[in-house]
Amino acid sequence: MTTPAERPSVLFVCIHNAGRSQMAAAFLTHLAGDRVEVRSAGSAPADTVNPAVVEAMAEVDIDISTEVPKVLTVEAVQASDVVITMGCGDTCPVFPGKRYLDWQLPDPAGQGVAAVRPIRDEIEMRIRGLLDEIAPAGQA
C-alpha cells in the first residue's frame, strides 16, 4: 500500500489553467486514482475552465465542470515531484531536484470542441505513458 508521503506528486502548468492543464490533471486523477497526487495551476489563470474543454472531457466520461482555474504558487511547485509545463513560458518557477517536462500542445483557448478533441486525445496518451513510468498499476 502506498502512503501519501510515498505517492508521486505531479503539477500541470499552463497559462490560464483552463484547458490543457485541467485535462491533464483530470486524466491523471481518473487513471491513477489515489496512486498519484495531482495539482494543476496557471501563471495567469482564467475565470473559468474553457467550456469546449469541459464538453470534450465529458465525451470521455470525465466531469471537470466544477473545476476552477488556480494560480501557480511557489509552494505548489516545491510540493511536486514532477512539473509538466504546457506553454507557460518563463513564468514557471524552477527548483533544483524537481523533474520538469515541457509538453508542446496546441492551446484550446477560443477553439470549439472539434479542435479540442485531438488535444484531449494527445494529453490522454501522454498521461498514460507518464503513469506507467511514475506509478505502475502494480504499485498500489
List per-residue pLDDT tens for the chain, 140 residues long. 445 558 999 999 998 999 999 999 999 999 999 999 999 999 889 999 999 999 999 999 999 999 999 999 989 999 999 999 987 666 666 778 889 999 999 999 999 999 999 999 999 999 999 999 998 876 55
Active-site pick, 28, 52, 84, 92: 92
Rounded Cα distance, 54 and 113, in Å: 9
In degrees rounded to 5, what are phi and psi of residue 86?
-135, 65
Active-site pick, 14, 18, 32, 53: 14
Task: Verify whether residue 79 is a known catalytic residue.
Answer: no
Active-site pick, 88, 105, 123, 130: 88
**pTM for this structure?**
0.91
